[in-house]
Amino acid sequence: MDKIKGLERKNSELEQFIAAMYHKQTILDEWEKSEQKEYELLHEPTEEYPLFLDLLIEKEAKPIKGMLIKAVETQEATPQREKMQKNEQQLDKNKILTNMQFLSEQIQDIKGFKQIAANLKKKGDSILNKQYTICLFGAFSAGKSSFANALLDYPLLPVSPNPTTAAINRIVPIDDQHPHGTIVVLWKNEQQIWREIKEHLQLFKKEAANLTESIPVIKELIQKQTTDFKASIRYFQFFLQGYEKNKELLGREIQTDYTKLEQYVALEENSCLIASIDVYFECEFTKKGMILIDTPGGDSINTRHTEVSFEYMKEADSIVYVSYYNHSFSKADKSFLLQLGRMKDAMETDKMFFVINAIDLAQDEQEIQAVANYVADQLQEHGIFQPRISLVSSLYYQKKEFSDRLLQFKEQLFAFIEEDWMAMMLRSAKTDCEKTVELLQRLVQSALDKKAEKHQEEQRLKEEHHKIAEMIKGFDTDYLQQKIQMEIEEQLFYVKQRIFFRFTDFLVDAFHPSVLKGENKTNELQRALDQFLRTFSYEMEQELRATTLRIENFYEKKQQEACEILLNKLKQKNEEIVLQFAKASKSEENITFYAPFREMDYSLFKKALAYFKNPKAFFEKNERKKLADEMQKIMDEYSQTYLKKETAVLESVYLEQWNKEEMEKQKEFLLQAADYYEGKLALLTEEEQVEKIVCLLKEIEEGKQLVQ
Ligand SMILES: Nc1nc2c(ncn2[C@@H]2O[C@H](COP(=O)(O)OP(=O)(O)OP(=O)(O)O)[C@@H](O)[C@H]2O)c(=O)[nH]1
Ligand SMILES: [Mg+2]
């Protein structure tokens, strides 16, 4: 009898506690409105909350009151508002992470919470270990490496008036295996080098079966001393010098120290064979978990290079575009901006920063402003509105007149990275914690409610679990897949539209009076046609790359939609159920594009090229227009076929990924549902489960107090 009485008392205590928990939030809000009201509420219980207050005064009032006083103090202390906000955020981060860790550790042993605990832990870890990437882009010799050195406040990267950086340099935070000053050099493998060589050879209309067989072809080209494609000849010369010397190292990773950095970065016979260099360097940047990436100057010949740049543009948390004061917005700059403009809408945030470097070359402040306005206009023309533009001198950044500008840039960048990204992640982490606590509260409440009809409830839960599992298994997403398919088709249709919209520009640039002089008709026409086909291929590839970003976004949205539809369906069966899904894992492989137009057969253009008889008739008598019309017909047909093939490739990639993720998600959801019902049943049958949760809920309150 005593035991039963004891249990009943315990039960009634638990019920009171739960009721109190429910009302606490309302009271918290009330308290925040006025300290006076808080005082009254605590000392003169109103009719509205008698039970709550009794209980609260006994057990809860102290910690909550303490918490509220703290909150009020923080709100009132306004004088150094900005500084405070930053500190608050820091505090918030620690608080949220501690809460998250506490919660995930506590619930992992509670039946039904295994998956949720794992998710919380994963999210917490990703916030804690987040590394931000800041990627520097810019034309050759714009001063990217100099700017990186200025940011690091240390002359780490080699700098020179000649093209210098040939590999990607990443300045990364140190770790256990890599103390300060370590560098890790990743050499390109034979296949990567062969791909590059092949592209350069193509410019000279040369072919070879493989890398070894290309060497005599290259030697012959160098000997010919042709004046065409000087950059490629230079590349070949360095390749020959470096290849023999470094053959053994290709495809490997070597570790050394940063005093050797120059010989890998700036010595072109080495650097042309190196894919990337990681420099482990402890400084203000890396201590904040930031990775600074210095890229080689723009180069549109090398497909691999444009692909790598695209991946960095896409993935970096922030992109800094450096242009040189004296020639801001050269052709290379414009090509980058064009690609950026294509990607802009599909990027989640405006993560671009523009830097005009070498303002020490300006005559006066007025001139600096004129350049800044010019750059802003150029950006606007490419669809980039309200850009963040900084004017700096990387060479003289320590001088008084320039040091503030660099500081301002740094502050702006840090604020963007730390506040925007972190704030978003913290908000989402906080919501996850709150939802988990809510679920714990609801579970306890419903367990107490249903205690009387325990057996029926057990049966009902088992049946409901079965139905929910069937719903998850039977969930059909065919129509969403069809939508993705349609989106891919539509996007690739637009690619063609956009390319052909600029068709005349490509043609006019290539079939230009400076090329077609009428001195050697066949040669000149061939050069013009080559140039046209190269541009056409390159622009098509760039368009397609940008398009994958749009398709990826669409895909993500549909994934989200699929989850929401399923969850809503399940909610019709059970309001309470919460299934979490991690963001879809990205497919491992990057989709690559290689447009085949560079290799089109010349005989196809015989009729078109025949319109060129002499420069006068061609440029003055509208014969160029006839050539253009004829070329357009051919290119239209070939583009159609090429894009059809690419559409099929993209469809198969994305649909395959969809199916894979569908299966993973289904498995995950079934596990979570099983977990949930196991927990629900345990709450019915195992008294200590209820107690465990109630204790935890109390501790959470106290935990909050501790963290505050
Ligand atoms: N006057 C002046 N010259 C600068 C400034 N920044 C860089 N330079 C010079 O510009 C040249 C190129 O600088 P780098 O930093 O090597 O340029 P980069 O963009 O890294 O070049 P690549 O790696 O070859 O693409 C060097 O001779 C620098 O000394 C600057 O702020 N003022
Ligand atoms: Mg450089």
Residue whose tokens read 């009898």 = 1
Q: Which ligand is nearest to the CA of 138?
A: 1
**Coil, helix or strand at residue 348:** coil
Ligand 1 binding pocket includes 140 (Cβ within 6 Å): yes
Q: The domain that contains 386 carries what CATH number?
A: 3.40.50.300
CA 159 / ligand 2 centre spacing (Å): 6
> What's the pLDDT at 28?
41
Q: Which ligand is nearest to the CA of 164?
A: 1
Answer whether 580's CB lies under 8 Å from 657's CB.
no
Ligand 1 binding pocket includes 298 (Cβ within 6 Å): no
Per the structure, how many domains does the chain have? 3
CA 358 / ligand 1 centre spacing (Å): 8
Domain boundary residue, one of 374, 398, 422 = 398
Residue 1, number of CB atoms within 10 A of its CB: 5
pLDDT < 50 positions in the chain: 14, 17-88, 91, 705-708
The tokens for 679 are 């927990």
Answer whether 124's CB lies under 8 Å from 97's CB.
yes
Q: Which ligand is nearest to the CA of 162?
A: 1
Please check whether residue 651 lies inside any domain of the structure: yes
Q: Do both 592 and 620 map to the same domain?
A: yes
Q: Do both 310 and 267 map to the same domain?
A: yes
Please check whether residue 425 lies inside any domain of the structure: no
Answer whether 317's CB lies under 8 Å from 350's CB.
no
Ligand 1 atom having least distance to the Cα of 146? 15
> What's the pLDDT at 135?
94
Please check whether residue 16 lies inside any domain of the structure: no
Domain boundary residue, one of 398, 432, 448 = 398
Our mutation pick for probing the ligand 1 site, out of 141, 324, 327, 396, counting the most ligand atoms within 8 A of Cβ, is 141
Q: Do both 505 and 598 map to the same domain?
A: yes
CA 534 / ligand 1 centre spacing (Å): 29
Q: Do both 619 and 539 map to the same domain?
A: yes
Rounded Cα–Cα distance for residues 294 and 301 (Å): 19
- Among protein residues, the one whose CA lies closest to atom 32 of ligand 1: 358
Please check whether residue 81 lies inside any domain of the structure: no
Ligand 1 binding pocket includes 296 (Cβ within 6 Å): yes
Rounded Cα–Cα distance for residues 140 and 540 (Å): 24
> What is the C-alpha end-to-end distance of the chain, expressed in Å?
44
Inter-axis angle of helices 114-128 and 623-685, nearest 10: 130
Ligand 1 binding pocket includes 295 (Cβ within 6 Å): no
Q: Do both 197 and 283 map to the same domain?
A: no
Answer whether 27's CB lies under 8 Å from 41's CB.
yes
> What's the pLDDT at 345?
72
Q: Do both 142 and 240 map to the same domain?
A: no
Residue-range definition of the domain harbouring residue 492: 476-675
Please check whether residue 328 lies inside any domain of the structure: yes
> What's the pLDDT at 311?
82
Sequence-distant (6+) residues with CB within 8 A of 88 are 74
Please check whether residue 601 lies inside any domain of the structure: yes
- Among protein residues, the one whose CA lies closest to atom 8 of ligand 1: 143
Q: Do both 165 and 195 map to the same domain?
A: no
**Coil, helix or strand at residue 133:** strand
Residue whose tokens read 């008889």 = 613
* Residue 371 backbone zone (phi > 0: left; psi -120 to 50: alpha; other: beta): alpha
CA 160 / ligand 1 centre spacing (Å): 6
Q: Do both 203 and 291 map to the same domain?
A: no
Q: Do both 244 and 306 map to the same domain?
A: no
Please check whether residue 610 lies inside any domain of the structure: yes
Ligand 1 binding pocket includes 361 (Cβ within 6 Å): yes
Residues 194-242 pLDDT 10s: 988 998 898 888 889 999 999 999 999 989 877 778 888 888 999 999 9
Q: Do both 214 and 343 map to the same domain?
A: no
Please check whether residue 216 lies inside any domain of the structure: yes
Domain boundary residue, one of 398, 423, 445 = 398
Residues 639-698 pLDDT 10s: 999 999 999 999 999 999 999 988 888 998 998 899 888 888 888 777 777 888 888 888
Residues 407-432 pLDDT 10s: 999 999 988 887 776 777 788 788 88
> What's the pLDDT at 48?
33
Our mutation pick for probing the ligand 1 site, out of 136, 140, 146, 157, counting the most ligand atoms within 8 A of Cβ, is 146
> What's the pLDDT at 173?
93
Q: Do both 246 and 297 map to the same domain?
A: no
Query: CA distances (Å), 341 to each of 217, 319, 349, 432, in order?
Result: 39, 13, 13, 35
Query: CA distances (Å), 120 to each of 205, 383, 442, in order?
Result: 57, 40, 19
Q: Do both 173 and 304 map to the same domain?
A: yes
Sequence-distant (6+) residues with CB within 8 A of 392 are 147, 150, 355, 356, 357, 359, 402, 405, 406, 409
CA 298 / ligand 2 centre spacing (Å): 11
